[in-house]
Chains A and B, each alone.
Chain A
Amino acid sequence: MDLIENYKQELQLIRKPWTRVWVGAFVLLLLLLPWFAPEYIIYTSTLIFIYAVGVQGQNLLIGYTGQISFGQAGFLAIGAFTFGHLSRFGIPWPIGLLGAGLAAGLFGILVGFPSLRLKGPYLAIATLGFGIAVYQIFANSELLSGGRMGLVIQKLEPIFGLSRLNFNYYFYFLIALVFTLATYNIISSYVGRAFIAIRDNDIAAEVIGVNLTRYKLLAFAVSSFYTGIQGGLYGLLLGYLEPNMFTFMESITLFVAVIIGGLASVEGSIMGAAFVILVPQFFSEFKEMVPVVFGVTILLVLIFEPLGLYGRWFKMRLYFRNWPLR
């Protein structure tokens, strides 16, 4: 039983003591992971952290604001190459990352303009066109893409005497944590409520004073900012970039992560990110099977659990709350 006595309690990030314990334990586990886990798990987790940032951004757009975008690979590429070029000019990584996010965010606003007129499948097609166009531009311009050899980026040098693997793990963990907190703060504020209002009933949203133009464009800007950051982080981790990393398949992967993880759920975004990273690894011996697994899982999720992995998790929690009484 939880009784709320004042607004501060109600507005806390995590309200229930037990949830706090569980989340604390989970974060602690993640912090200690490099001490006992094998190297490939550490590396995979690092990738999941990077993906989680972008999937959260995508979920803000699709899950919360209800605007479908199939062009995320475009923002990813813009973020990654902006970061790449900035870092080749010798600009330090924090500013480079910010630049990557802002550049992608700017293009997000541009791509957002059709959303003021188009809905549902029409918007999906418009954004899909954007994603493919960006890929083609990078693929055909050696100046932008860094030519045949790709764009080489200076990797981060580990500090505090950590190995490169562990340093990367903690570095990306921290960034993912910051963005996760930011997402929670956005969705629990008036901005997040306005996003959801647009998704649930755009006419009512407008009549109560939500400026549709401003908030739809804001949703696109924030979402592509996240995706741009993901692109920059990706480049920083791998140390090189080439256009083929940002094909249409990449947009699909991000889209799948949102649907599988659970629309309009931050936890779901993280689970979805883990899903799209882990599945190709599990099936690495049958690489041609990965799209099949993706496809089949989406079908099954949509039929049996429209709320995604998060929905399943939520129901499990409800079940065990009363356990063994049932």
Chain B
Amino acid sequence: MPLLEVDDLSISFGGIQALAEVDFQVENGEILSVIGPNGSGKTTMFNCISGVYRPDEGLIRFREKSLLGLSPDSIAHRGVARTFQNLRLFLHMTVVDNLLLGRHIKFHKNLIHALLRLRREEIRHREVVEEIIDFLDLQAYRQTRVSDCPYGVQKRVEMGRALAMEPHLLLLDEPISGLTSEEKEETAYRINEIRGRYKTSILLVEHDLRIASRLADRMIALDYGKKIAEGSPEEVQRTPEVIKAYLGED
């Protein structure tokens, strides 16, 4: 049974068809990479899955239950975490606090505990966050305000916040765009590590074809909201439609 099933997904804004009858599946433990030129609907698809947009038509089933019509926070509770392409961090908080917010869904909500400063639960979550800090090499920035951190660090915090949610499915929206080549290699290595360490399936949107095809088990390509190819990275990159979408016709 696939972890995520997307069927016939369509959404349009005004006259623009952002996604048209897209279907694909993500299997357990798989890294599925989504490629496509700018404006091909990759981020729109993420927004549909994480509940930020409501699709006009189609089905999204996650662990055999439909995600349609759910608010983003209940989708988060079901075990879907995502990062944003143009980072959406809590800029006035420290790195640790941002990561702790990733643990929000794991808290047993009880206002009395908060009021009386009963902190056993908090300590448990801080231990998890500390492991993520180790994994992402963020020790030097623990107590730094996120707005004071360099871009590469902010990207790592964004990924760490999603990891802290211990999701079944992680949606990464261009995790290596804008990084230096050294940071790119590190991040690629970490994305590969995540799968083994956190037992998470990953849906990866990436422009860098070299890294995307290195990481992905399978790949799909979008163009103008339509799925134009699916298969192994090599197959997809050899598809004439993909070449046409990226390079244009001669």
Bound-state Cα–Cα, A264 to B97, Å: 15
Are A207 and B52 neighbours in the complex by a CB distance under 8 Å?
yes
Bound-state Cα–Cα, A203 to B75, Å: 13
Interface check A44, CB cutoff 8 A = no
Chain A residues with Cβ under 8 A from B90's Cβ? 196-197, 200-201, 204-205
Interface check B197, CB cutoff 8 A = no
Q: Distance (Å) between the CB of A201 and the closest chain B CB?
A: 5
Q: Distance (Å) between the CB of A11 and the closest chain B CB?
A: 5
Chain B residues with Cβ under 8 A from A212's Cβ? 73
Of the residues B91, B111, B161, contact of A191 by C-beta under 8 Å: B111
Interface check A160, CB cutoff 8 A = no
Q: Distance (Å) between the CB of B238 and the closest chain A CB?
A: 35
Interface check B244, CB cutoff 8 A = no
Interface residues of A in 182-238 (CB under 8 A from B): 182, 185-186, 188-194, 196-197, 199-201, 203-212, 218
Given contacts A182-B115, A185-B117, A201-B90, is CB(A207)–CB(B72) below 8 Å? Answer: yes
Interface check B24, CB cutoff 8 A = no
Interface check A36, CB cutoff 8 A = no
Interface check B214, CB cutoff 8 A = no
Chain A residues with Cβ under 8 A from B91's Cβ? 200-201
Bound-state Cα–Cα, A200 to B52, Å: 17
Interface check B107, CB cutoff 8 A = yes
Given contacts A194-B104, A208-B81, is CB(A201)–CB(B114) below 8 Å? Answer: no
Are B105 and A208 neighbours in the complex by a CB distance under 8 Å?
yes
Q: Distance (Å) between the CB of B110 and the closest chain A CB?
A: 10
Given contacts A193-B104, A207-B72, A207-B76, is CB(A7)–CB(B123) below 8 Å? Answer: yes
Chain A residues with Cβ under 8 A from B77's Cβ? 209
Of the residues B76, B92, B114, B116, contact of A209 by C-beta under 8 Å: B76
Are B107 and A190 neighbours in the complex by a CB distance under 8 Å?
yes
Are B88 and A203 neighbours in the complex by a CB distance under 8 Å?
yes
Bound-state Cα–Cα, A192 to B117, Å: 12
Are B101 and A208 neighbours in the complex by a CB distance under 8 Å?
yes
Chain B residues with Cβ under 8 A from A208's Cβ? 76, 81, 101-102, 104-105, 161-162, 165
Interface check B126, CB cutoff 8 A = yes
Q: Which residue of B lies closest to A191 (CB)?
A: B114
Chain A residues with Cβ under 8 A from B210's Cβ? none
Are A209 and B119 neighbours in the complex by a CB distance under 8 Å?
no
Chain A residues with Cβ under 8 A from B122's Cβ? 7, 11, 189-190
Given contacts A11-B122, A204-B84, is CB(A196)–CB(B114) below 8 Å? Answer: no
Q: Distance (Å) between the CB of B53 and the closest chain A CB?
A: 11
Are B92 and A196 neighbours in the complex by a CB distance under 8 Å?
yes
Interface check B149, CB cutoff 8 A = no
Interface check B209, CB cutoff 8 A = no
Instruction: From A182, A188, A200, name the one whose CB has the most chain B CB atoms within 10 angstroms.
Output: A200
Cβ contacts A to B, 18 pairs, < 8 Å: A10-B126, A11-B119, A190-B107, A190-B122, A191-B111, A192-B114, A196-B90, A199-B92, A200-B90, A200-B93, A203-B52, A204-B90, A206-B52, A206-B71, A208-B105, A208-B162, A209-B165, A211-B74
Q: Which residues of B contact A (CB under 8 A)?
A: 50-52, 71-74, 76-77, 81-82, 84, 88-93, 97, 100-105, 107, 109, 111, 113-117, 119, 122-123, 126-127, 161-162, 165
Q: Which residues of A contact B (CB under 8 A)?
A: 7-8, 10-11, 13, 182, 185-186, 188-194, 196-197, 199-201, 203-212, 218, 264
**Closest A-B pairs by Cβ, 8 of them:** A209-B76, A189-B114, A209-B105, A204-B88, A200-B90, A206-B72, A7-B123, A185-B117
